Structure 1
Amino acid sequence: MTQKLPRHLLAHASCLPEHIDGIPTDIVEAAPAYFAASSPCSLRKLREQRPAQGGISGAHEAIQAATLAARCVSRRLEESMDRFVLGNCHTLADFGSAALDSSILQPSTNDGGTAIAHRLAGLHRFVPILESATGSNRIDAALAKLDSTNAMDPGICTLGAIQGTASATLGTRVHKHGRTTGSTTGIIDDPSIDVLVPLNRQDPTRLAQFVDQLRIRPRPGQLVFAQPGDSGALVLTKGDNSAVGLLFACPDNGSYAYANPISAVLDALEIDLE
């Protein structure tokens, strides 16, 4: 909720019960989260890199700016010789409206990327986002096929090699490297949250509900975990670099972020991280 109202201003049907199974309930105000793609910056993570790596600027040619997640391989036998890059549906597939094999640029267009000079991969497949305030989206994810298998290295900028995957739990310490905010550390403060994310900043009635998501807060002493342009960043455990989530949304002030559980992403796209 963006604003908590007193009970006397609400219809009775709109009020939560004060207790559910003996547990007190409350409404917590929070700034709205948006799909995290945009915003300028000026470090090496914004420049062309060949081979590329996870955690740097990269997005579909129609998207201003986002982050490449990581290099991956397909579980499909017929794709065993190919290499792919993971990202969000909204960053690699333009919310599902992009044509297959359309260009994924590194860096993103806001960082100087052009289809002629900076194509890294072609859109290969994605999971559509269901536009509905009562929908059950599990992931915001897409896959692009690298134009050459050596166009991207495994691992994440600054964070290093990915050490498998894990399931996040309440209190799990995590970190990520993103195109806008670079390397940041956070804490999972809800490992299974249902959230509404606006699909269009100019039209707040267009919403998509995501279920069973991870919510991440900045670590104590740090104000920001992610900001626009960090969409697509892989979220790893702080201790051993196990992948736990794929970042896809955050408020502009960076006070929290949402990520898809990584197991749901990998299973839906039939891939594994390298």
Structure 2
Amino acid sequence: MTTTSELRDKAIIRPVKRAVEDDLLDLPGVLAVDIGEKRVAGRRTGHQAIVVSVGRKGAPVGGKAVPDDVLGIPTDVIEEAPVPHHGRCAPRTPVRTDEARTCIRGMLGRGIAPCRSVRLVPPEAPPGRYRRVGTVGVMVHDHERASHAMGLTTFDVACMDDAWSVGDHMLDPESGEVYAELARAALSGRVDAAAVDLKDGVARTCVIRGIGPVAGKSPAENGAMVRKTGYATGTTSGTVVSTDTTLRLDHGPAIGRRVLREQVRVDGDPVFAAPGDAGAALVDAAGRVVGLHCAGNRDGTVGFACPIGEVLDELDVELCVAPPQN
């Protein structure tokens, strides 16, 4: 549970962190900047600090190191490498373009992959062609047409690189069935998201598998318990520990490294997510969506999500909400 004093300290540190985060990200090896509790030799100190994530601790490169404090605010350097949480699979399953004859159940939390594949080489993967895999997390609809329902995932999953276009076909990575087309997408300083149009025969539902009905949306709150259902790890839970995380993520050679600011950080209990879970919706105890999962650390104990309000605004859509239960 986040205490009042912790919230007060975060509010004091926040403008300083925002002012210096770009300078810190420019230092060699720095991958993220956040606000969190400072630890010394693994022990909690009870004091908030500017937390700087590096791929590997060691001697500073070129004599440039993270300072011990910034404008009087202490820093804490941790070893953590955020990575986009798309998965990948070899395109062995044939693409099925026939229309589904029956409704597909369990839509939310289902896997999604663009039909087109990309070529990868070491060290990213053994040489070959791969499909990028993620999750359809929640349903949204157009502002003017509530009947126009779309599935929500991430730009990193649905678009992959700079060769994407509206109408790109999306398939189920297990069956090879084409069930959606890319409708709109955004990759900005705060949002990594995409919406896909669902084909006839695909169930439109506001119920997330393993979680329940979507009751609405809300900003993420520090200390809140959240759950998500993803294609890779299913339904897991964790605790929101920050809404101030700024990440530099590598989206591959075509797009390169991009910075996402003021993202939601979730600590898992113990594991929260893995590659293939990108696009999963973060849902609080009241059934409200608070974020769209996009990245995590390499061992899956930490997840990062775009704030849902920012996602909906950039895609110009509204959340599909389940009708109230009588």
Query: What range is the shorter-chain TM-score in?
Result: 0.7 to 0.9
1:99 Cα shift?
2.3
Aligned residues: 242
Q: Following superposition of structure 1 onto structure 2, how do residues 79-158 of structure 1 map, counting pairs within 5 Å?
A: 79-105=145-171, 107-108=172-173, 111-113=174-176, 118-127=177-186, 129=187, 137-148=189-200, 151-158=203-210
1:266 matches 2:312: yes
Asked whether the 8 Å contact 2:84–2:156 carries over to 1, the reply is no
1:192-250 deviations in whole A, cap 9, x for unaligned?
111011123xx6x931111111111113xx2x11001111100111x212101001112
1:104 Cα shift?
1.6
Structure number with greater CO (CA < 8 Å, separation at least 6) is 1
Asked whether the 8 Å contact 1:233–1:247 carries over to 2, the reply is yes
Asked whether the 8 Å contact 2:250–2:257 carries over to 1, the reply is yes
Match of 1:2 in 2: 55
Q: Quote the RMSD (CA, aligned, Å).
A: 2.5
How far apart are the structure 1 equivalents of 2:185 and 2:233?
26
1:27 Cα shift?
0.8
In structure 1, which of residues 142, 166, 171 is the aligned counterpart of residue 218 of structure 2?
A: 166
Asked whether the 8 Å contact 2:103–2:203 carries over to 1, the reply is no
Match of 1:227 in 2: 274
How far apart are the structure 1 equivalents of 2:257 and 2:175?
31
**Structure 1, unaligned stretches of length 5 or more?**
41-47, 130-135
Matched residue SS, 1:66 = strand
Identical columns (%): 25
Match of 2:139 in 1: 71
The TM-score normalised by the length of structure 2 is 0.68
How far apart are the structure 1 equivalents of 2:282 and 2:162?
23
1:28 Cα shift?
1.0
Taking a change above 3 Å as real, the CA distance of residues 164 and 96 of structure 1, as seen in their structure-2 partners, is farther
Query: Amino acid of the residue matched to residue 57 of structure 1?
Result: G
How far apart are the structure 1 equivalents of 2:76 and 2:163?
39
How far apart are the structure 1 equivalents of 2:68 and 2:76?
8
In structure 2, which of residues 79, 83, 90 is the aligned counterpart of residue 29 of structure 1?
A: 79
1:251 Cα shift?
3.0
Query: Amino acid of the residue matched to residue 111 of structure 2?
Result: S
Query: Amino acid of the residue matched to residue 58 of structure 1?
Result: I
Larger relative strand fraction: 2
Taking a change above 3 Å as real, the CA distance of residues 4 and 187 of structure 1, as seen in their structure-2 partners, is same
1:15 matches 2:15: no
Query: Amino acid of the residue matched to residue 64 of structure 1?
Result: R
The TM-score normalised by the length of structure 1 is 0.80
Taking a change above 3 Å as real, the CA distance of residues 39 and 241 of structure 1, as seen in their structure-2 partners, is farther
Asked whether the 8 Å contact 1:171–1:187 carries over to 2, the reply is yes
**Structure 2, unaligned stretches of length 5 or more?**
1-53, 91-101, 117-130, 321-326
1:49 Cα shift?
6.8
Match of 1:54 in 2: 108
1:181 matches 2:233: yes
Taking a change above 3 Å as real, the CA distance of residues 225 and 233 of structure 1, as seen in their structure-2 partners, is same
Matched residue SS, 1:266 = helix
Q: Of the two, which has the highest radius of gyration?
A: 2
How far apart are the structure 2 equivalents of 1:199 and 1:269?
20
Matched residue SS, 2:258 = strand
1:38 Cα shift?
3.1
Taking a change above 3 Å as real, the CA distance of residues 31 and 49 of structure 1, as seen in their structure-2 partners, is farther
1:152-177 deviations in whole A, cap 9, x for unaligned?
32221111111111111222211101
Query: Amino acid of the residue matched to residue 207 of structure 2?
Result: G
Asked whether the 8 Å contact 2:226–2:240 carries over to 1, the reply is yes
How far apart are the structure 1 equivalents of 2:107 and 2:180?
13
